[in-house]
């Protein structure tokens, strides 16, 4: 089975993996996967995802291989049926067919263009991997999803809020940023929290809507799990009662085809920075961000370094959740 959007094992499976990650962090012995091989392909930069996947693979006694097309490997053509007379040296389908024979799991990071909505929704890189790998594929962040982040977030919620996350109030707030960013992380926060039945509030300025297809899916998951999803443009109001505040900047679904206009709008929204005064409106919420973060743009130093910041624990759990997932995918889990 592929791990594409983090819902593959259902709510119980996600919670079991998160609980296992907390056990591993507490010192449980990992179930070895000696002789197994993971190849991780990065089409975009990474610190946490790359380092945690590499460390988790090694900690299980398996071998990680990191490949960066266009840097230490041939640049890849992703479009189907094109005459390859441009800069790309190898078609993605061919590269993946080969890599799938060298590894037991392939993993890949591929950010969206933010230019063509239908192309981004189609996830051409992840789709090519899942079609041609012949082995399970792990999504290391794509146009729509970041399931490894979602698993670490779930483990963070479990650690702080206890085993039953149903009905726990969480607020995801849009935050300022100098650049247009993908919506994979906010999509994942929404999906992962809805999956486990949390009471999710999403706050964003007008014009920064998430993909309605994704929101509808999250609403369905939340309803099935005993939670709900609410969307608001009132950031301060969204803090009321929140036990968790997740900050992230993203580009708007409606911004496709009008990114310059969106950038001008974004430049007026500096008031959405998460600061202590905003956090004080919540129910002593823990602050989360996937990192990397622009300090004093997305979040103030005082909040990020404060006693209610869970952001660095969240990042640390990337290692343990990666180990828990690899244990399961390699057949070592209970
Ligand atoms: N949160 C996260 O995925 O970090 P990296 O982009 O550094 O991997």
- Give yes or no for residue 89 CB within 6 A of ligand 1: no
Do 248 and 293 touch, CB atoms closer than 8 A?
no
Are 88 and 216 contained in the same domain? no
Structural domain includes residue 97? yes
Evaluate whether residue 92 is within a structural domain: yes
pLDDT tens, position by position, for the chain (334 residues)? 999 999 999 999 999 999 999 999 999 999 999 999 999 999 999 999 999 999 999 999 999 999 999 999 999 999 999 999 999 999 999 999 999 999 999 999 999 999 999 999 999 999 999 999 999 999 999 999 999 999 999 999 999 999 999 999 999 999 999 999 999 999 999 999 999 999 999 999 999 999 999 999 999 999 999 999 999 999 999 999 999 999 999 999 999 999 999 999 999 999 999 999 999 999 999 999 999 999 999 999 999 999 999 999 999 999 999 999 999 999 854 4
Which DSSP helix (H) or strand (E) runs through 105?
strand 105-109
Identify whether residues 111 and 99 lie together within a single domain. Answer: yes
Region of 43 on the Ramachandran plot (φ > 0 left; ψ -120 to 50 alpha; else beta): alpha
**Of 65, 66, 61, 55, which Cα lies nearest the Cα of 36?**
61
Tell which one of 42, 44, 48, 66 to mutate to probe ligand 1, the residue whose CB is within 8 A of the most ligand atoms.
48
Claim to verify: residue 57 and residue 98 sit in the same structural domain? yes
Residue 2 lies in a domain: no
Q: Is residue 231 part of a domain?
A: yes
Q: Do 107 and 166 share a domain, yes or no? A: no
Instruction: Find the 138 Cα to ligand 1 centroid distance in Å.
Output: 15
Overall pTM > 0.85: yes
Residue 247 in any domain: the answer is yes
Does 127 map to a domain? yes
- Tell me: do 92 and 166 sit in the same domain: no
Closest CA to 65 of 98, 30, 18: 98
How many domains would you assign to the chain?
A: 2
CA-141 nearest atom, ligand 1? 3
Residues 306 and 157 in one domain: yes
Q: Note down the domain range covering 302.
A: 149-314
Structure tokens at 12: 């119980």
Check whether residue 161 and residue 282 sit in a common domain. Answer: yes
Same domain, 68 and 53: yes
Orientation angle between helical segments 48-59 and 147-161, nearest 10 degrees: 80
Mutate to test the pocket of ligand 1, among 107, 292, 312 (most ligand atoms within 8 A of CB): 292
DSSP state of 2: -
Pair 184, 105 in one domain: no
Distance (Å, rounded) from C-alpha 234 to C-alpha 247?
14
Domain identity same for 53 and 84 = yes
User: Is there a single domain that holds both residue 83 and residue 163?
Assistant: no
Tell me the HSE value of 139 on the side-chain side, using a 13 A CA sphere: 29
Would residue 4 count as lying in a domain?
no
**Closest by Cα among 190, 208, 202 to 150:** 190
What does the pLDDT read at residue 334?
A: 43
The tokens describing 326, both together, are 């690899």
Residue 271 within any structural domain of the chain: yes
Closest CA to 148 of 334, 314, 333: 314
pLDDT of residue 100: 98
Distance 318 CA to ligand 1 centre (A): 9
- CATH number of the domain residue 246 falls in: 3.40.50.1370
Shared-domain flag, residues 110 and 180: no
């Amino acid at each position: 089975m592929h791990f594409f959007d983090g819902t593959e094992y259902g709510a119980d499976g996600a919670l079991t993996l998160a609980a296992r990650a907390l056990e591993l962090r507490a010192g449980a012995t990992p179930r070895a996967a000696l002789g197994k091989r993971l190849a991780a392909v990065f089409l975009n930069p990474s610190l946490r995802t790359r380092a945690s996947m590499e460390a988790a693979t090694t900690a299980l006694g398996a071998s990680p291989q990191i490949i960066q097309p266009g840097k230490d490997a041939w640049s890849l053509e992703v479009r189907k049926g094109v005459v390859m007379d441009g800069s790309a040296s190898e078609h993605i389908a061919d590269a993946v067919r080969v890599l799938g024979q060298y590894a037991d799991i392939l993993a890949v990071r591929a950010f969206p263009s933010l230019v063509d909505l239908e192309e981004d929704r189609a996830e051409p890189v992840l789709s090519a991997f899942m079609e041609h790998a012949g082995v399970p594929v792990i999504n290391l962040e794509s146009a729509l999803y970041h399931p490894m982040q979602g698993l670490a977030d779930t483990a963070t919620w479990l650690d702080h809020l206890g085993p039953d996350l149903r009905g726990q109030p969480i607020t995801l707030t849009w935050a300022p940023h100098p650049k247009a960013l993908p919506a994979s992380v906010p999509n994942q926060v929404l999906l992962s929290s809805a999956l486990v039945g949390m009471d999710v509030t999403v706050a964003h300025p007008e014009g920064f809507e998430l993909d309605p297809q994704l929101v509808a899916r999250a609403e369905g998951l939340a309803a099935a799990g005993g939670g709900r999803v609410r969307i608001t443009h009132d950031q301060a109001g969204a803090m009321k009662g929140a036990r968790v505040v997740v900050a992230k900047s993203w580009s708007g679904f409606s911004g496709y085809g009008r990114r310059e206009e969106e950038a001008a709008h974004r430049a007026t929204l500096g008031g959405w920075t998460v600061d202590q005064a905003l956090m004080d409106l919540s129910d002593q919420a823990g602050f989360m961000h996937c990192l990397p973060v622009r300090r004093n743009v997305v979040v103030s130093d005082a909040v990020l370094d404060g006693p209610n910041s869970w952001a660095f624990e969240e990042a640390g759990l990337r290692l343990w959740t990666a180990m828990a997932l690899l244990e399961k995918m390699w057949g070592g889990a209970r």
